[in-house]
Amino acid sequence: MEEEKRINSLTALVAVERALYSFDRLYSYVIPHELIGIVEKGKRVLAPFGRGAKKITGLVMDIKQTEFEAGSLKTISEVLDSEVYLNTEMLSLVHWLKENTFCTYYDAVKCILPPVLRNPENAEKRLTGKTERIVKLSNDDLPNDLDLTPKQKSVISVLENNSASIKELCYICSVTPAVITNLIKKGILEEYRQPVAQTSDELIPERDVSDIELSDVQKQAFDGLHKLMNSPDPKCALLRGITGSGKTSVFIKLIGEALDKGKNAIVLVPEISLTPQTIAIFKGYFGDNAAVIHSGLSMTQRTDEYKRIRNGSARIVVGTRSAIFAPIDNIGIIVIDEEGEHTYKSERSPRYHARDIAKQRCFKHNSLLLLSSATPSMDSYRKSQIGKYSLFELTERYSGNALPDVHIIDMKIEAAMGNHSNFSEALAAEIRHNLQIGEQSLILLNRRGYYTYVCCIVCGEVSMCPNCMVPLTCHISGGTSAAGGMRTQASVCHYCGLIRSYLHSCPKCMSRFIKQSGTGTQRIEDELQELFPEARILRMDADTTMTKGAYERGFSAYGNREYDIMVGTQMIAKGLDFSNVTLVGVLLIDKSLYAGDYLGYERTFSLITQVVGRSGRGEKKGRAFLQTYTPEHYVLKLAARQDYRGFYEEEAAIRETMLFPPFCDLCVVETMSVSEKSAENAAHTFIDILAEQLKKEKTRLPIRVLGPVKSGVGNINSKFRYRIIVKCKNTAAFRKVMSDSLTAALSDKSDKGFGFCGVSVWFE
Ligand code: ADP
Ligand code: ZN
Ligand code: ZN
């Protein structure tokens, strides 16, 4: 018999790309002699994996001396990075993400790596040359399970949080332009043209932080926060300030103080379209000290900002969700502006919430986490009530003005009086008045398109997206009716991007009586133009702001009073600060109130409070009109009074009784398959597996399982989905049970179980 030979050598623990969740662990590799000292924690390597010994990319998570049997471990082939991209702090975030969001190690690694490095084959290289055709993801939160080739997948992973020119993409992903053109055809990517010369370097007036003079109320909040920031263990604070109270001024001052102490800062904003002004303000006060990261940047610009952060020449990072992973050290403060916004939660794996990552980072750096909002999430406000967060409140506007007067308009009465337009008499009269005195108005309708559905009046057939089974929305191109000219119609799916030419007859009964109904922003624009032919109207929604710089151009033109009325979706509701806006109209608010999940009221309250808050921010007093069919609804009444406390109390009482967050945690399990039956079976199987895993636990974990139910909007992208919702407490023990269940489910290849199904798990 052969003698077993033991070897003692330096090994690397590697997170490998493409490992399935059920096989995902750190794999040990021998570090060959010539690579000792070159293989380092946080660098990417190439190593053989699996039976064919194909080489794959991985990230070194740890290095240690190990004893093992000769021949039992494979050897690292190559080191890909000349520098370390993920330091110890980032590596611990990888572990955190894996445990808390049920993703693989490498999925976590990818969301932290700089974008250019997400694709294995490339080192960071400066791209030169003039670029023209830019693409971006048509939907920021694509489903995880689209059927795509590896090349297509690599293109998409590079485009997460970025736009890029086709040329850049072909280079970075080593693909031909055809791969990208195909993704555009599928509606997964959107293309637009960008002027060759880089824009957006418009002049921003320089300002100095010491010039900001805080009001007494602001000063009080500032002093408290400042003291907290300089304490040894500042933890988390919530700054709740009514709209126009000047929260921004308070945290700019705080950041100034942090910088003076030699510390750095991160400021998160919810979505670039919501906050072009915030970004400009930061550039104005902090100049080149501020690096800005968002999806509107080209790959090259983004890479440049990344470098400036890494080498310390930028000390404040302002950006959207993923900026929380910025490679910045010595953090003094992290600010999350409009902390209740849903854009802080990633909708694709890893499904992290930026607030949770911020907490990890603040804990590591002993820095202050400052959450700021006029309408904090139920969760954060509750934490401030039970003493987990420090609470600071700004209860008056900086201008000293009162909040706008809000009127609730009953559209049933309008209809009874014979007014079938989308504008009540009162709102129309106010718009006319504003036009006469040269003040600006803002109209919110949270639905883009022209008509929101198309149906046959003979058989009732509604025109649906064949992929997603949701009604198609009718869009019209070719200018406003006022401009005249040819207009063409098309039906568009807002979920998958499918575009169909207009139907002249019913596909089911062949009748030619097709009726279009429902109202989108495009139709509102037309109606307004008819009512007020002389008005200059700007429409802002996903359709009009596709091209680079369109948000900024639109908002700044409106700010310069080049338009009288701005019509738009939720992108116009938040964060904007224009002193000449004195009238806000909200149309069809009912839709959002009855959205169908437990967050419907919270979102509606926040949306109304925010949009109403756009009015009367300057010297002049503002007013707002909410049009609804349910004027007696208490959420509308509280929103009209801007009574956040009142809303919080009501909503908390309901959530506590019904057991919803923040009084429990929700863990969602979703199965998906091309076969509806499989998706449903798999969901039932998962419940059995979960029950088995729970039995193994020594201590009892209190949970409640709801479902399975067919989820949300039919079968998005030709897949059927079933959801189980587990009301639980998010503890280490529960996460372990969930992770074991998920692994067991994914290993179950019987055709009754997960043979034909995908499954994902996340916390809401
Ligand atoms: P919020 O974000 O709380 O809604 P902002 O920070 O946008 O409010 O402030 C509202 C307006 O008041 C802005 O135009 C801002 O420039 C102004 N403002 C707030 N605080 C000050 C201050 N201390 N000095 C001068 N202007 C201020
Ligand atoms: Zn029909
Ligand atoms: Zn669709």
What's the Cα-to-Cα distance from 209 to each of 203, 251, 282, 284, 286, rounded to whole Å? 18, 11, 10, 10, 8
Distance 674 CA to ligand 3 centre (A): 15
249 lines ligand 1 (CB under 6 A): yes
Which of 577, 615, 642 maximizes ligand 1 atoms within 8 Å of its Cβ, making it the mutation to test the pocket? Answer: 577
Distance 125 CA to ligand 2 centre (A): 57
pLDDT of residue 276: 66
Q: What's the mean pLDDT in 121-137?
A: 56
Q: What's the mean pLDDT in 209-233?
A: 95
241 CA: nearest ligand 1 atom: 3
Question: What are the tens digits of pLDDT across the range 147-187?
Answer: 778 788 878 877 776 677 787 778 777 788 888 888 888 87
Beta-strand runs (E) in 606-651: 623-628
Alpha carbon distance 373, 441 (integer Å)? 24
pLDDT confidence bin for 191, thresholds 50/70/90:
confident
Closest CA to 668 of 340, 347, 339, 324: 347
Alpha carbon distance 370, 358 (integer Å)? 10
Question: What are the tens digits of pLDDT across the range 15-52?
Answer: 999 888 989 999 999 999 999 999 999 999 999 998 87
Above 60 in pLDDT, residue 484? no
Q: Is residue 42 within 8 Å of residue 24, measured between CB atoms?
A: no
375 lines ligand 1 (CB under 6 A): no
Cβ burial of 523 (10 Å; 0-12, 13-18, 19+) is buried
270 lines ligand 1 (CB under 6 A): no
Alpha carbon distance 413, 436 (integer Å)? 27
Q: Is residue 540 within 8 Å of residue 572, measured between CB atoms?
A: yes
Closest CA to 710 of 697, 719, 701: 719
Amino acid at 457: I
Q: What's the mean pLDDT in 217-238?
A: 96
Angle between helices 521-531 and 425-437 (to 10 degrees): 70
DSSP 3-state assignment of 359? helix
Alpha carbon distance 7, 14 (integer Å)? 19
Question: Per-residue DSSP letters for 285-325?
Answer: HHGGGEEEE-TTS-HHHHHHHHHHHHTTS--EEEESGGGGG
Q: Is residue 509 within 8 Å of residue 461, measured between CB atoms?
A: yes
Which of 398, 399, 555, 619 maximizes ligand 1 atoms within 8 Å of its Cβ, making it the mutation to test the pocket? Answer: 398
Distance 470 CA to ligand 2 centre (A): 17
Q: What's the mean pLDDT in 211-215?
A: 94
285 lines ligand 1 (CB under 6 A): no
pLDDT of residue 755: 64
Distance 719 CA to ligand 3 centre (A): 11
Q: What's the mean pLDDT in 693-704?
A: 89
Above 50 in pLDDT, residue 452? yes
Alpha carbon distance 426, 320 (integer Å)? 39
Q: Is residue 589 within 8 Å of residue 608, measured between CB atoms?
A: yes
Q: What's the mean pLDDT in 663-687?
A: 91
For residue 454, give the ligand nearest its CA. Answer: 2
Q: How is residue 408 annotated by DSSP?
A: E
Closest Cα to atom 5, ligand 1: which residue? Answer: 246
Pairing of strands 78-79, 44-49: antiparallel
Above 60 in pLDDT, residue 131? no
Question: What are the tens digits of pLDDT across the range 740-760?
Answer: 999 998 887 765 556 668 889
Distance 512 CA to ligand 2 centre (A): 8
pLDDT of residue 106: 95
Closest Cα to atom 18, ligand 1: which residue? Answer: 246
422 lines ligand 1 (CB under 6 A): no
Distance 673 CA to ligand 2 centre (A): 30
Closest Cα to atom 16, ligand 1: which residue? Answer: 246
pLDDT of residue 714: 54
Question: What are the tens digits of pLDDT across the range 358-408?
Answer: 999 999 999 999 999 999 999 999 999 999 999 999 999 898 888 899 999
Question: What are the tens digits of pLDDT across the range 84-99?
Answer: 999 999 999 999 999 9
Distance 528 CA to ligand 3 centre (A): 30
Cβ burial of 2 (10 Å; 0-12, 13-18, 19+) is exposed
Pairing of strands 264-268, 290-293: unpaired
Above 90 in pLDDT, residue 432? yes
218 lines ligand 1 (CB under 6 A): yes
Residue ranges with CB less than 5 Å from ion ligand 3: 465, 467-468, 493, 495-496, 498
Maximal C-alpha separation, the chain: 101
247 lines ligand 1 (CB under 6 A): yes
Q: What's the mean pLDDT in 457-470?
A: 80
212 lines ligand 1 (CB under 6 A): yes
Least confident of 147-156, 482-491, 546-555, 689-698: 482-491
Q: What's the mean pLDDT in 653-659?
A: 92
- Mean pLDDT of the residues in the chain: 87
pLDDT confidence bin for 136, thresholds 50/70/90:
confident
Distance 221 CA to ligand 1 centre (A): 14
- Helix, strand, coil percent content, the chain, rounded in steps of 5: 35, 25, 40
Residue ranges with CB less than 5 Å from ion ligand 2: 456, 458-459, 461, 506, 508-509, 511
251 lines ligand 1 (CB under 6 A): no
248 lines ligand 1 (CB under 6 A): yes
247 CA: nearest ligand 1 atom: 3
3-class secondary structure for 141-192? CCCCCCCCCHHHHHHHHHHCCCCEEHHHHHHHHCCCHHHHHHHHHCCCEEEE
pLDDT confidence bin for 479, thresholds 50/70/90:
low
Distance 212 CA to ligand 1 centre (A): 10
743 lines ligand 1 (CB under 6 A): no
Distance 505 CA to ligand 2 centre (A): 8
Closest CA to 493 of 169, 138, 220: 138
pLDDT confidence bin for 717, thresholds 50/70/90:
low
Q: Is residue 275 within 8 Å of residue 283, measured between CB atoms?
A: no
Q: Is residue 61 within 8 Å of residue 91, measured between CB atoms?
A: yes
Alpha carbon distance 174, 177 (integer Å)? 10
Beta-strand runs (E) in 615-683: 623-628, 665-673
pLDDT of residue 154: 79
Q: Is residue 407 within 8 Å of residue 684, measured between CB atoms?
A: no
Alpha carbon distance 739, 754 (integer Å)? 16
246 lines ligand 1 (CB under 6 A): yes
Q: Phi-psi category of 213—alpha, beta or left, where left has phi over 0 and alpha has psi -120 to 50?
A: beta
613 CA: nearest ligand 1 atom: 4
Sign of CA dihedral 95, 99, 105, 108: negative
Cis peptide upstream of residue 234 (ω within 30 degrees of 0): no
pLDDT of residue 638: 94
For residue 456, give the ligand nearest its CA. Answer: 2
Which of 248, 251, 579 maximizes ligand 1 atoms within 8 Å of its Cβ, making it the mutation to test the pocket? Answer: 248
For residue 512, give the ligand nearest its CA. Answer: 2
Closest Cα to atom 6, ligand 1: which residue? Answer: 246
pLDDT of residue 272: 66
Q: What's the mean pLDDT in 442-469?
A: 84
Q: Is residue 505 within 8 Å of residue 533, measured between CB atoms?
A: no
For residue 499, give the ligand nearest its CA. Answer: 3
pLDDT of residue 690: 95
Angle between helices 378-385 and 644-658 (to 10 degrees): 100
Above 90 in pLDDT, residue 74? yes
222 lines ligand 1 (CB under 6 A): no
Least confident of 176-190, 390-404, 494-508, 721-735: 494-508
Least confident of 63-67, 246-250, 325-329, 445-449: 445-449
pLDDT of residue 135: 82
Distance 214 CA to ligand 1 centre (A): 9
Tokens of 61: 């998570």
pLDDT confidence bin for 129, thresholds 50/70/90:
very low
Alpha carbon distance 270, 344 (integer Å)? 6
Q: What's the mean pLDDT in 726-747?
A: 94
575 lines ligand 1 (CB under 6 A): no
Question: What are the tens digits of pLDDT across the range 241-291?
Answer: 998 899 999 999 999 999 999 999 999 998 766 566 777 888 899 999 999
Radius of gyration of the chain (CA): 27
Distance 573 CA to ligand 1 centre (A): 17
Strand partners, 514: 456
Backbone angles phi and psi of 106, in degrees to 5: -75, -30
280 lines ligand 1 (CB under 6 A): no
Tokens of 753: 């179980």
Question: How many residues are given for the chain?
Answer: 764
pLDDT of residue 125: 39
